[in-house]
Amino acid sequence: MLNHRLKITSKGSTGLIVLGLLTACLGFSGCGGSGTTAEETKELSASVQNTGQLQVAITDAEGDFLSYTVDVESITLKKANGAEVETIPLTTRIDFAEYTEMTEFFNVVTLPTGVYVSAALNLNYQDAEIVIQDDNGMAYSATAFDSSGETITSMQVSVQLDDDLPIVIKHGVPASLTLDFDLEASNTIESFDPAIVTVEPFILADAEFNRDRGHRARGLLKSVDVESSQFSAKLRPFYRRHGEFGEVTVTTHGTTHYEINGELATGEAGLLLMARLDVDTPILTFGHMAVVSDEVDDNLRTNIGFVADRVHAGTSVPWFGHDAIRGVVIARDENIVTVRGRHWDRADRSVSFNDNVLVTLTESTRVTRQGLDNEGVDIDSISVGQRLVAFGELNREQRGDVSGERLREISLNTRNGHVRMMMNVIKGVVVSVEPLAVDLLWINGRRPDLFDFSGTGAEETSDAERDYYEIDSGSLTLENIDFRDVVKTRGFITPFGSAPEDYEAHTMIETNIEQ
């Protein structure tokens, strides 16, 4: 896989002229009335043969941002002959800080066949929400400036693809483009008070999907084919509730985990449940890119597709039919957990915020754990540091400003509701190899001083400690880990009141990470 790094090519308001993609009625009934002639049929067939699909995805490299939300106004591709085509239908608001561990499908678009050699993003910063944190975990809303000290309103960022790996659009062979807005390389935090960030954007572009990285597709269910173990979904990326962003085909397998309207299933049983859902039921799919057939094209590229590891549908999707808060637990007092929020999801919109939410757990609260056997999982499983989605009812009297600015002193009751424990990522400096323990640098992107670990231990003296955070590494190999290495690992926080250990590692993502 080749990465292509670039620097900003121009700043300030841009006036890019885009050759709009002309869409045609390709094979749909009712497009041109009845009585199509043989010549018209031949021309229509030729039109189909002269187009191909491009799958566009967005990801991000790690950076010290709690939020980095800007409006992506356009993504334009340019052919070798200079012709330009637009690949997204609507200006879309994206929080790039959410995608340091995940790649999201943005759009699947039909383009004229040919070789495309460069891409350009138009970014609008006028309503940007950039939130940075200091070493104590305190959050600050920052203003973006360019390298000359001018406030940024909009800018264009371009990348020239490698001559050996352009985007080749051809009929019947889906092409791909992953764009990585590298936050760490693109931004310099100048100060916290006032909060100022200098922006010199860099972008990475891959003409192939990264098979080692998790992918996500949001949208609405279109169809289910149980016999072929596939389903298709209409994309609605980045919390969009409307718009046409193309369709994605998803391949399932025997261990795909499903949560559909609160019901758990695995493999074909889950796909059969999906087959009973109505068209346009909300759906959220997490998976990976893999070979889905042995066929190859003229360039000897195998057919790579999206394979589902976990599927949520219906009321199991955060924004469908109830209130949902997403964030990380920073403290717990009996059955009240304090969640530092990231998103509040409603049917009509998703609001980003960085305040605390008090979530009340009850004996009737159903608790599940992402992608694992849920036997024995209950409200006691939720501990400090755990990332979660809590479904319930917001306290309407304390809900605060719902326009999107801030939500203060709000609470959510999960009585007869649901809490989904999500996979966590921690990063730290190794202070002991056997047993494995780290001096925490962050938990789920949050500085460790933000967390109150009181009550996490089986006894008060065994509460979790930020400078000696004990990790159960299970069967993971530690042969390449040494004292003072920086490691990053994915897993789950151990149940409240049970430490040590403090954390159950499932995957060692990286070691010897540069601090």
**152 neighbors 11 (Cβ within 8 angstroms):** yes
Q: What is the pLDDT of residue 332?
A: 96
**In Å, what is the CA distance from 274 to each residue of 27, 279, 456?**
27, 10, 38
CB 283 within 8 A of CB 316: no
Is 90 exceeded by the pLDDT of residue 42? no
What value does the mean pLDDT take over residues 503-513?
83
CA 35 and chain centroid, separation: 47
Spans of all domains in the chain: 5-206, 215-316, 323-422, 424-511
pTM listed for this prediction: 0.75
Could you give the residue ranges of the DSSP H alpha helices within 93-231? 183-186
Q: What is the pLDDT of residue 372?
A: 65
List all residues 6 or more positions away from 41 whose beta carbon is below 8 Å from its beta carbon: none
Which fold, 424-511? OB fold (Dihydrolipoamide Acetyltransferase, E2P) (2.40.50)
Residue pLDDT, tens place only, 361-377: 999 998 988 866 778 89
Token digits for 164? 């050996």
Q: What's the Rg (C-alpha) of the chain?
A: 24
Structure tokens at 441: 């640098």
Of the two residues 202 and 487, the one the predictor is more confident about is 487
Architecture of the domain made up of 323-422: Beta Barrel (2.40)
Across 3-17, 31-45, 236-250, least confident range:
3-17
Give mean pLDDT, residues 210-221. Answer: 88
Supply the pLDDT for residue 302. 57
Class of 215-316 per CATH? mainly beta
**Where does the pLDDT of residue 305 fall: very low under 50, low under 70, confident under 90, or very high at 90 and above?**
confident
Query: What distance in Å separates the CA atoms of residue 125 and residue 375, rounded to the nearest whole number?
Result: 46
Q: Encoding tokens for residue 325?
A: 């808060």
Q: How would residue 11 be classed by pLDDT, with cut points 50, 70 and 90?
A: very low
What pLDDT is recorded for position 321?
A: 67
Q: How confident is the model at residue 104 (pLDDT cuts 50, 70, 90)?
A: very high
pLDDT value of residue 156:
87
User: For residue 465, is pLDDT > 50?
Assistant: yes
Task: Identify which has the larger pLDDT, 167 or 209.
Answer: 167
Burial of 327 (0-12, 13-18, 19+ CB in 10 A): buried
What letter would DSSP give residue 268? H
Write the DSSP string, 440-456.
Answer: EEEETTB-GGG---TT-
Q: Above 90 in pLDDT, residue 335? A: yes
Indicate the pLDDT class of residue 346, thresholds 50, 70 and 90. Answer: low
Check residues 230 and 406 and name the one with the higher pLDDT.
Answer: 230
393 touches 459 (CB < 8 A): no
**Separation of first and last alpha carbons in the chain:** 25
pLDDT score recorded for residue 476: 87
Average pLDDT of the residues of the chain:
82
pLDDT tens digits, residue range 260-301? 988 889 999 999 999 999 999 999 999 998 877 655 555 445
pLDDT confidence bin for 234, thresholds 50/70/90 = very high
- Rounded to an integer, the average pLDDT of 46-71 is 80
pLDDT tens per residue across span 165-205:
888 888 877 888 888 888 888 889 999 989 999 998 888 88
> Among residues of the chain, what percentage have pLDDT more than 90?
43
The Cα 38–Cα 413 span in angstroms is 64
pLDDT of residue 359 exceeding 70: yes
More confident residue, 232 or 323: 232
477-498 average pLDDT score: 92
CA 407 to chain centre: 23
Q: What are phi and psi of 338, to 5 degrees?
A: -95, 120
- What are the phi and psi torsion angles at 211 (to 5°)? -75, -15
C-alpha distances out from residue 422 to 59, 133, 243, 286, 381, Å: 19, 23, 28, 12, 12
Q: What is the pLDDT of residue 367?
A: 92
Same fold, 323-422 and 424-511: yes
Predicted pLDDT of residue 41: 44
The DSSP 8-state label assigned to residue 477 in this structure reads: -
